[in-house]
Amino acid sequence: MSSRASKVKVVALTGAVVLAGVAGACRGDRTAARPRQFFPDMDDSPKFKPQTKSEFFTDSRSMRPVVEGTVAFGMLQDVGVVTSEQSGATMLFQDAPIPARDRFLREDDAYFRGINADGTYLQSIPLRAVIDTKALQRGQDRFNVFCASCHGYDGQGKGQVGIQWSYPLPNFNDPKYWDPNADPMRSRDGYIFHTIRNGVIGPDGAAKMPGYAYNITPADAWNIVAYFRALQASRQGKLTDLPEAERQRLLQLKTNQIAPTTAPATTPASSTPVAPTPLPPGHPLSVPPAAPAPAPNKEGSK
């Protein structure tokens, strides 16, 4: 073997030993230094982060405006009703009767915003909102979930959260919420719908009630409005408004509640007063015996 070949072999072996030692020493070690990136474009792909500045666009905005004519798509409440047969869960949304194009564009201000063409609130629930027994039941369910904690199940503002408020919450039976003569604006169905979806802002600009549009669809908001009116009607109605069978049932219930209960026969009480049973000595409620009167002083008496 030539001396040249021997030198090459020695250098190769020395390099292998050094690399093995270095690799073994690095195993399990921690370092604050950035790792070596042989393909940096794979780890750090170019992209725009929200609300950051861009040097590419002339307005320096990384977030671009929506292209004109773009239609939002893919949200669950815009797809339709989720039935128990499809998902095994209870119904979540009830916007299915509305055509898909209308659900996406939401151009109907009366149905989706509760306002007329002139910007005033609707006087009554729009015909597009189908209100039947199922809708009232749905409205009751949504009211109990989102409203009753503050306003109470009867709408009188006495919910478990409402009674802790720093000021009294409104009573929905107040005439201003149903009588146009008392309040031309708050008595409108469109105002109640708008309040459910957008909340209430006080004169000082602070939110007095949060909006629930994020979790209550327009269909459910109209269902709540319908149940809201049913609560008011239950307070304003008369017994003669009910069917005969229901009227007789309520009258019977009322009779049973006010009828005096028959007390069991007992032995006539004696007219002689009975002395109370004395408490044992040492009882906390027992009265100690009166101290005897002191004996008279014979020397001082005459």
Cβ–Cβ under 8 Å, residues 169 and 160: no
Cβ contacts of 35 within 8 Å, gap of 6 or more = none
Q: Highest-confidence range of 18-27, 72-81, 111-120, by mean pLDDT? A: 111-120
Helix (H, G, I), strand (E, B) or coil at 98: coil
The DSSP 8-state label assigned to residue 229 in this structure reads: H
Give the whole-angstrom CA distance, residue 240 versus residue 147. Answer: 30
Whole-model pTM above 0.95?
no
Helix (H, G, I), strand (E, B) or coil at 61: strand
Higher pLDDT, 296 or 55: 55
From residue 44, alpha-carbon distances to 33, 51, 77, 248 in Å are 17, 19, 36, 78
Q: Which residue has the tokens 């050094």?
A: 18
What pLDDT is attached to residue 151?
Answer: 94
Residues β-bridged to residue 207: 201
Cβ contacts of 300 within 8 Å, gap of 6 or more = none
Measure CA of the first residue to CA of the last residue in the chain; give whole Å.
156
pLDDT in tens, 184-207: 999 999 999 999 999 998 888 888
User: In the predicted model, is pLDDT for residue 152 greater than 60?
Assistant: yes
Average pLDDT over residues 152-177: 90
110-239: CATH superfamily? Cytochrome c-like domain (1.10.760.10)
Average pLDDT over residues 114-121: 94
Structural domain spans, the chain: 110-239
pLDDT in tens, 34-73: 777 777 777 777 788 888 888 888 888 888 888 887 766 6
User: In the predicted model, is pLDDT for residue 169 greater than 80?
Assistant: yes
Share of the chain above pLDDT 70, in %: 65
Q: Which of 173, 225, 172 is nearest to 197 (CA)?
A: 225
Cβ contacts of 106 within 8 Å, gap of 6 or more = 112
Token duo for residue 62: 């990384």
Chain center to CA of 271: 64
pLDDT in tens, 231-257: 998 888 787 888 888 888 888 888 887
What pLDDT is attached to residue 220?
Answer: 93
Helix ranges restricted to H, 99-236: 100-105, 109-113, 133-146, 148-151, 189-198, 218-236
Give the whole-angstrom CA distance, residue 18 versus residue 12. Answer: 10
Give the whole-angstrom CA distance, residue 224 versus residue 229. Answer: 9
Give the whole-angstrom CA distance, residue 70 versus residue 65. Answer: 10
Q: Cβ atoms within 10 A of the Cβ of 114, count?
A: 27
What pLDDT is attached to residue 95?
Answer: 46
